[in-house]
Chains A and B, each alone.
Chain A
């Protein structure tokens, strides 16, 4: 990279700077807009924050009340955990393993002494 190249790039950037400077808003206008925006933003923002906080608290209380009312004591003995991979443990005819087999009794003819 030569110094001439740098100078050429510098010239291009300086032309851009001149254009931007010509289009720049006045400082007073920028400051006035900034202050107006800050004034406008502060009150509604505080009000919105207060309303939001109140809504969250109310929703929390309502949810807690609802859950407390709906809460049904659970008998842990009746609970059976079922995981998404339970089907992998399923065996064909597994019912047979859980029931007591029923043996058929066959009446044999009595022998006479």
Chain B
């Protein structure tokens, strides 16, 4: 293996748990779909179909690749559901799978349930800021939106999430 490939694998190794968490968020908590998206993203990176050009940090770039790949898989899953015999193979339907939800603690289950009701962009920005500890500017870069739009999604999402969590506790 070339030194560049080894270096790439080392960087992926460091970011792997965070990338898995992000893949889960992109696949709305569906573990199988998240693993698929992550595998496909790593393949793209290792065989050179996705190249890091150094414009952003490696982490934000990796998250963009995972997000893009997960979006592609989601589109294909939607198409597959319309094909004949779609019932033969289960396709991800954008909902958290039962096993993942079952092993979650009560607090985190409430959080994931509340997050699932938010619009995708708000969910993504909140995840990137609170879960991945990115700045709003970095989150905007990952999602591919302007800083102002990301800030709006962040504020609206945060307010909606707080409200939902409060309602559930009462």
The residues of A with any CB-CB pair to B shorter than 8 Å are: 1, 5-6, 9-10, 12-17, 19-21, 23-25, 27, 30-31, 33-35, 37-38
B74 within 8 A of A: no
A13-B157 Cα distance, complex, nearest whole Å: 14
Contact code string B33-77 (vs A, CB < 8 Å = 1, else 0): 001001110110011000000000000000000000000000000
A-B contact count, CB below 8 Å?
A: 82
Contact with A34, one of B42, B100, B108 (Cβ below 8 angstroms): B42
Contact with A9, one of B17, B105, B130 (Cβ below 8 angstroms): B130
Contact with B103, one of A17, A23, A25 (Cβ below 8 angstroms): A23
Contact with A37, one of B12, B39, B103 (Cβ below 8 angstroms): B39
Asked if A30 and B35 sit within 8 Å, CB to CB, the answer is yes
**B156 → A minimal CB distance (Å):** 11
A108-B24 Cα distance, complex, nearest whole Å: 106
**A51 → B minimal CB distance (Å):** 18
Asked if B17 and A24 sit within 8 Å, CB to CB, the answer is yes
Asked if A16 and B108 sit within 8 Å, CB to CB, the answer is yes
Asked if B131 and A30 sit within 8 Å, CB to CB, the answer is no
Sorting the interface of chain B by its residue count into under 10, 10 to 19, 20 to 34 or 35 or more gives 35 or more
Asked if B17 and A20 sit within 8 Å, CB to CB, the answer is yes
Residue of chain A at shortest CB distance from B10? A27
**A26 → B minimal CB distance (Å):** 8
Asked if B42 and A24 sit within 8 Å, CB to CB, the answer is no
Asked if A27 and B16 sit within 8 Å, CB to CB, the answer is yes
Asked if B107 and A12 sit within 8 Å, CB to CB, the answer is yes
Point out the residues of chain B lying under 8 angstroms from A37, CB to CB: 39, 43
B158 within 8 A of A: yes
